């Protein structure tokens, strides 16, 4: 068993988990943060993406014990009170979802994408960067449109250049 302590969405949480417990299961089952989804068992779908110490991570590919001491943000922690994050607002405005199953992971990936491309995002970069997120409903067009709209709203439209 492992004792884990981490900060999740600004709140310090602790627990004792089996060594094999994945971060995604700790978030969902111990903390009740069920916005982070499990859509595969091969680390391919991206439905489980959260931010660990500011970077997008597939939470099914990390042990809860490995995340101990880290700061985690899940989809539940993205909005500022009643105000949606610009990425959430753009997904809503541009119909970037149908069933919504992939959406939390898409949004967490997309917000990290904005961080990683300080010169802004273009369509080609967005499509390439969504490689690790699978949507089974939308055909991606409105997801890409939403991410580009959010980038514009955040002053991050341009030719993609990756941060060093
Ligand atoms: Fe993590 Fe599919 S559940 S990548
Ligand atoms: Fe249904 Fe993406 S909206 S899987």
Question: Cα of 108 to ligand 2 centre, how many Å?
Answer: 14
Q: What is the pLDDT of residue 162?
A: 55
Q: What is the pLDDT of residue 164?
A: 43
DSSP assignments along 22-57, one per residue: BHHHIIIIIS--TTS----SSS-S-TTEEEETTEEE
Probe target for ligand 1 pocket from 58, 63, 103, with the most ligand atoms within 8 Å of CB? 58
Give the pLDDT band of residue 160 (cuts 50, 70, 90): low
Question: For domain 86-153, is the CATH number 1.10.150.120?
Answer: yes
Give the pLDDT band of residue 6 (cuts 50, 70, 90): very high
Please indicate, yes or no, whether the overall pTM of this predicted structure exceeds 0.75.
Answer: yes
Task: Tell me where in the chain the CATH 3.10.20.30 domain(s) lie.
Answer: 2-77
Mean pLDDT of the chain: 94
- Closest-approaching ligand to the CA atom of 57: 1
Task: Tell me where in the chain the CATH 1.10.150.120 domain(s) lie.
Answer: 86-153
Q: CB–CB of 107/78 below 8 Å? A: yes
Across residues 109-125, what is the average pLDDT?
Answer: 94
2-77 fold: Ubiquitin-like (UB roll) (3.10.20)
Q: What is the DSSP letter of 117?
A: -
Q: Which of 57, 58, 146, 56 is nearest to 97 (CA)?
A: 146
Q: What is the pLDDT of residue 159?
A: 62
Q: How do residues 144-156 score in pLDDT, each as one tens digit?
A: 999 999 999 998 7
Q: List all residues whose CB is within 6 A of at least one atom of ligand 2.
A: 97-103, 135-138
- Give the orientation angle of helix 103-116 with respect to helix 86-93, to 10 degrees: 130
Q: How do residues 70-84 score in pLDDT, each as one tens digit?
A: 999 999 999 999 999
């Amino acid at each position: 068993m492992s004792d884990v302590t981490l900060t999740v969405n600004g709140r310090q949480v602790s627990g004792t988990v089996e060594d094999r417990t994945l971060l995604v299961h700790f978030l969902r089952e111990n903390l009740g943060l069920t916005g982070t989804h499990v859509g595969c068992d091969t680390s391919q779908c991206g439905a489980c993406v959260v931010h660990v110490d500011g970077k997008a991570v597939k939470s099914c590919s990390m042990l809860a014990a490995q995340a101990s001491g880290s700061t985690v943000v899940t989809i539940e922690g993205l909005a500022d009170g009643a105000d949606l994050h610009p990425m959430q607002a753009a997904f809503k405005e541009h119909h970037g979802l149908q069933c919504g199953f992939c959406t939390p992971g898409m949004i967490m990936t997309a917000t990290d994408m904005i961080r990683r491309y300080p010169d802004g995002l273009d369509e080609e970069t967005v499509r390439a960067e969504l490689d690790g997120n699978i949507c089974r409903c939308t055909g991606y067009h409105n997801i890409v449109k939403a991410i580009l709209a959010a980038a514009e709203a955040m002053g991050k439209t341009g030719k993609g250049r990756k941060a060093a």
